[in-house]
Amino acid sequence: MAKAPKKPAASAVVDRNNPKLSLWNFWVSCTLLKLLLIPGYFSTDFDVHRNWLAITNKLPLKEWYFESTSQWTLDYPPFFAYFEWILSQFVSKAVREDGCLDIVAVGKFGFPTVLFQRLTVIASEVMLFVVLQIYINKSQMAERSANFVVASSIVLSPGFLMIDHIHFQYNGFLFAILIASILAAKHQRYLLCGFFFTTALCFKHIFLYLAPSFFVFLLRVYVLDFSNFQFKSYNDLISIVQWKNLFKLGSVVLSVLAVCFAPFVRDWSQVLKRLFPFSRGLTHAYWAPNFWALYSLLDKVLTLIILKVPCVHGFLTQFIAPPLIPATIEEINWKIQQYNVGTKGLVQDVYFVILPQIQPKLTFFLTLFYQILAVIPVLFSPSFKRFVGSLTLCGFASFLFGWHVHEKAIMLVIIPFSFLVTSDRRLLTPFHLLVSAGYVSLFPLLHESQDFLLKLLYTLVWMIIYSFALRQVTKMSSSVQRRVFFFDRFALFYIVMLVPMVFGVQLLEALKWRYAVLQKFEFAGLMIYSIYCSIGVLSSWVGLSWLYNFDEPLWM
Amino acid sequence: MVAKDKFSKESFFASPLYDFLSPFRPVANQYYAEYVIVIFALVIRCAVGLGSFSGENASPMHGDFEAQRHWMEITTNLPISQWYWFDLNYWGLDYPPLTAYHSYFFGKVGSLLSPTWFALNSSRGLVTPDLKSYMRFTVIVSEAALYIPGVIYFTKWFGIKRRQSPIGTYIAAAAILFQPSLILIDHGHFQYNSVMLGLTVYAINNLLDGFHGPAAICFVLSLCFKQMALYYSPIFFAYLLSRSLFSPTFNLPRFTSVALSTIISFCIMFSPLYVFGGIQNVLQSIHRIFPFARGIFEDKVANFWCVSNVLFKYSENYTQDDLQRFSVYATAVGFIPSFVLMFLYPKKHMLPFGLAACSMAFFLFSFQVHEKSILVPLLPITLLYCSTDWNVLSMVSWINNVALFTLWPLLKKDNLTLQYVVMMLLSNWLIGNFSFVTPRFLPKFLTPGPSVSDVAETYRRRSFLPDNIFWKLTIVTSYIIMGCVHYLDMFVQPPKALPDLWVLMNCALGFSCFGLFWLWNYYKLFDMRNKSFLEF
């Protein structure tokens, strides 16, 4: 008997046609890796969350959104505050004495607090594994291994590793709720879908960016019914609304919102002010790799050209009227002095010298415009694939054109896209562009040298595994149109060149003390990152939009 | 059916490593597996490197980290003639010249990045986050350049020779690369053992390929990096000599090539010392490398002298010279049988066993042994993960755990508790030692099973335990005692009179396990002398 393991019986080997595909091993291994990251670097977000633990634990509910001892005030919706309150119940005596629950301007804490908070992230992330395991188990046999690849790519994502386990946030847990709602939509459980999405929204309002897509999809598939529609008069329009379904969905959504916001209904204006701080600048601390990064690059290039070759300015003013462009060279110089652009990039606001300033309103309309473009096809043919496509494009629109976008918001695009990518091989190119540029653009978040090799190698190995695995499981192109060979090669070149870019910027940083030129352009490294990555993200968006709008068979 | 049986006979069948690597089984995908293993091995090393190192915040002497940094400081700033003389009380250089050249190289590169890191005298005890990252980086680069390719080549060679599936060899390579002790000492505690061990693996690889001269060169380089490689020297000597003299016949060209490459590489290694400092400098370096003035053992270590010292106080009854003589006799008695066996039967597949027996004899009985020296016998032992014999694999897995356990007092001092626990769990879990504890109480859809491999859902891999009942009992008992010692260490204060009691218990257990393993290893070595490669 003892010799059994040496020569396992044939029953030890399972039928290939009925794979079990469990995420268990992935969970164990990456949890062990995450434990090793506990003593590493964490950002100010760590103190933010510690402060919220303290606020929710020490203060009565109605003061939560008024407390402002620390600059890290509570600015997430109430569900997240309740979540913090629950976590704070588990704070042990040793951690409490360490200063975990003190309401102070700047947190004074030691290793016990770090250990406790890091462990809460790891524990709450179990949700992500559970949801994705359900996703695998519920999928049909034909697509199970493809779905397994998608699920494992999400749980092993370098994005979650960098943002949650080094930088410090709770995205794994929050995205688990979002994925649950996508999953519910896939299995036509629309009430559940509405419930989960509203819950996710009440945890973190950044999911509002995806709301148009959910709204239109649920409206079209659940509330409206065009099956017996014949237009005779406008009264018939009323008959296409399924009032019972509308009522059910509405009550689910409203009751979730009520549970979330009811305790704060008296202070609604204060809560809103905290949730939507419009006083912030166009770009976050440095540029997220979006459209505005390219816009500001164009502005810098134009400034340089006009200052070196003044006649260009004279030429341009013949076509463009002065409010849109500075009237004289003197005005340009004055502006440069005024804003001190070029060198001090790390400010809350960015001003443009040649190009017009960007108003919040403009970014809002641009975002909305592209989101509407993305959801219109869902109105016409509300398939699940269309829905996920529109989700991805909504994420794209908000990321590329939004106001004060964090580079971390790229996860809002990558996660929906992951659910789409296995359906057609032509989606692989935009997907690889997006994940490589997106994950690399997160590197500057972890600016300490000790994380350099770790983030680079982990992202690299993730890219190797999943570029290989996704190619194995994606279906061949469904349409007769062939892929454009040139673009594929170009994308590959772009992705490979990310590596020298990362090394080059790191070298630039390391040699900064030696050369005065490098000190003058203190933020050149960050700029290179955001510009190079924004090219990838933008081209991915263009590629996906093209397929979404002009390739019909893919979405059936 | 045939194909399935072939897979299920693999030694790591149904372990998590098997599970992770099985998508790479098709021939077209095998190419990826190597990269994935190596990069993950590096990622784990980076992650361990986030922790503290020996002597962090411990003025005025600090620890091994400061020693290595200080050597970069002296080698880059002083002429070669002073390397082995400069301020010997503060971490004077006491490793052979290749270490000095290695320090010189990385010191120069580091000075390009920041001149303050290795500035003479003013940089003593300096620790900045960037300096720490740089030093960690140099260890990773050294290991990635020497140890990792060496191990992968070794496993591939054995795999091809024994017609293993390529994935089987990659799994063995991963099991070797995730050996916890080396990772924790090099990337946690901070040392460059992987350079010495990597050069030794290259020497073994060259022997496997029949390149005897290059093997001698690699081994001399290893020896010139760290004198601890001497533990291996009798076996290399026996093997090379025997191969040149009578296996199969006297081979003069081989003999000359081995002799010349050994002498020439030694000369090249020491010539800068001679050219820039004269013969006095060379003698000083040798004097520094072999410090016979120190005690018979340092700190608490799981070898014969330290453990028997409890019963019999050597230092009270004998002089230093007597003790030195005893240790030489004991070591000689310990390693000579392996030397003779290797000389009479110079077979390739006996090399790991021979090296393990010999270096273990040195570890157990020689003079001035550190607890870290266990890495030396551990290298050939860990290379045996290439074996397909369940008993051998079980013994290897066991002795790896024991070795890690004996490093615990050191790692605890370095503040590496978290890393110790995680690496112990990870290394055992990866090779399937914890497959039996996978929980069943979870909801059915979450019940752990294989991810991607073709292992049946209900099948649970058994942990590594030999078939023999004696070994089974021994191993299980040793694990239980380890658990108890950890418990005592954690929650119970040792008696006032014996503050080191728990550490001594650790050493005693380590010594008895190493001793037993050593005897088994000798038995295997003897047993193997007439066997062919395939029975390995």
Q: DSSP letters of B264-294?
A: HHHHHHHHHHHHHHHHHHHHHHHHHHS-TTS
User: Which of A246-250, A341-345, A522-526, B296-300 tops mean pLDDT?
Assistant: A246-250
Q: How far is CA B44 from CA A457, B50, B419, in A?
A: 10, 10, 10
- Check CB contact under 8 Å for A29 and B426: yes
B475 SS3 class: helix
User: ipTM above 0.90?
Assistant: yes
> pLDDT confidence of B251, banded at 50, 70, 90?
confident
**Chain A residues inside the 8 Å CB shell of B44:** 33, 36
For every residue of B333-384, DSSP letters joined together read HHHHHHHHHHHH---GGGHHHHHHHHHHHHHHHSSSB-GGGGHHHHHHHHHG
Asked whether residue B8 carries a pLDDT value surpassing 50, the answer given is no
Label residues B437-475 b or e (16+ Cβ within 10 Å = b). Answer: ebeeeeeeebbbbbbbbbbbeebbbbbbbbeeeebeebb
Nearest-CA neighbor of B407 among B506, B306, B297? B506
Q: Report residue B196 as tokens.
A: 């010495």
The pLDDT value given to residue A471: 87
Q: Report residue B115 as tokens.
A: 């001149």
pTM, 2 dp: 0.93
> pLDDT confidence of A196, banded at 50, 70, 90?
very high
- Choose from B45, B46, B127 for mutation: most chain A CBs within 10 A: B46
The pLDDT value given to residue A168: 95
> pLDDT confidence of B296, banded at 50, 70, 90?
low
Asked whether residue B339 carries a pLDDT value surpassing 50, the answer given is yes
The pLDDT value given to residue A8: 42
- Choose from B39, B109, B473 for mutation: most chain A CBs within 10 A: B39
The pLDDT value given to residue A16: 56
**Chain A residues inside the 8 Å CB shell of B16:** 25, 28-29
For every residue of A489-520, DSSP letters joined together read HHHHHHHHHHHHHHHHHHHHHHTTTT-HHHHH
Residues pairing with B85 in the sheet: none
B188 SS3 class: helix
**Chain A residues inside the 8 Å CB shell of B26:** none
For chain A, give the number of residues.
556
The pLDDT value given to residue A233: 77
Asked whether residue A342 carries a pLDDT value surpassing 50, the answer given is no
- Check CB contact under 8 Å for A25 and B448: yes
Around Cβ A509, how many Cβ atoms within 10 Å? 16
Smallest CA–CA distance from A134 into chain B, residue:
B445
Q: How far is CA B153 from CA B35, B150, B158, B221, B533, in A?
A: 13, 5, 9, 19, 18
* Residues ≥6 apart with Cβ < 8 Å to A390: A213, A216, A217, A374, A375, A377, A378, A548
- Choose from A22, A466, A513 for mutation: most chain B CBs within 10 A: A22
- Structural contact between residues A70 and A197, judged by C-beta atoms closer than 8 angstroms: no
The pLDDT value given to residue A485: 58
How many helices, marked H, and strands, marked E, lie in chain A? 25, 0
Q: How far is CA B46 from CA A454, A455, B139, B408, in A?
A: 6, 9, 10, 20
Smallest CA–CA distance from B426 into chain A, residue:
A32
The shortest CB-CB distance from A8 to any of B8, B23, B113 is to: B8
> pLDDT confidence of A239, banded at 50, 70, 90?
confident
- Chain B: give the shortest CA distance to residue A416, in Å: 23
Q: Report residue B138 as tokens.
A: 């140099």
Cα–Cα distance for residue pair B323/B304, rounded to 1 Å:
13
Q: Determine the Cα angle at B469 with ends B468 and B470, to 5°.
A: 95
Percent of chain A with pLDDT over 70: 90
Asked whether residue B122 carries a pLDDT value surpassing 80, the answer given is yes
For chain B, give the number of residues.
536
Asked whether residue A10 carries a pLDDT value surpassing 50, the answer given is no
Residue with the two structure tokens 């058994």: B462
Smallest CA–CA distance from B459 into chain A, residue:
A12
The pLDDT value given to residue A14: 54
For B217, half-sphere exposure in the C-beta direction (CA atoms, 13 angstrom radius) is 11
The pLDDT value given to residue A349: 57
**Chain B residues inside the 8 Å CB shell of A4:** 462
* Average pLDDT over all residues of chain B: 90
Condensed to tens digits (0 to 9), the pLDDT of residues B57-72 reads 777 778 899 999 999 9
Single-letter residue type at B140: I
Asked whether residue A311 carries a pLDDT value surpassing 90, the answer given is no
Q: What is the mean pLDDT of residues A465-491?
A: 75
**Chain A residues inside the 8 Å CB shell of B14:** 8, 12
Q: Pick the residue with more confidence: A493 or B87?
A: A493
Around Cβ A266, how many Cβ atoms within 10 Å? 9
The shortest CB-CB distance from A14 to any of B39, B446, B456 is to: B456
A241 SS3 class: strand
Cα–Cα distance for residue pair A352/A364, rounded to 1 Å:
19
Q: Report residue A149 as tokens.
A: 């690849």
* Average pLDDT over all residues of chain A: 86
- Check CB contact under 8 Å for B1 and A10: yes
The shortest CB-CB distance from A13 to any of B8, B19, B44 is to: B8
The shortest CB-CB distance from A449 to any of B8, B130, B450 is to: B130
- Check CB contact under 8 Å for A14 and B137: no
The pLDDT value given to residue A538: 95
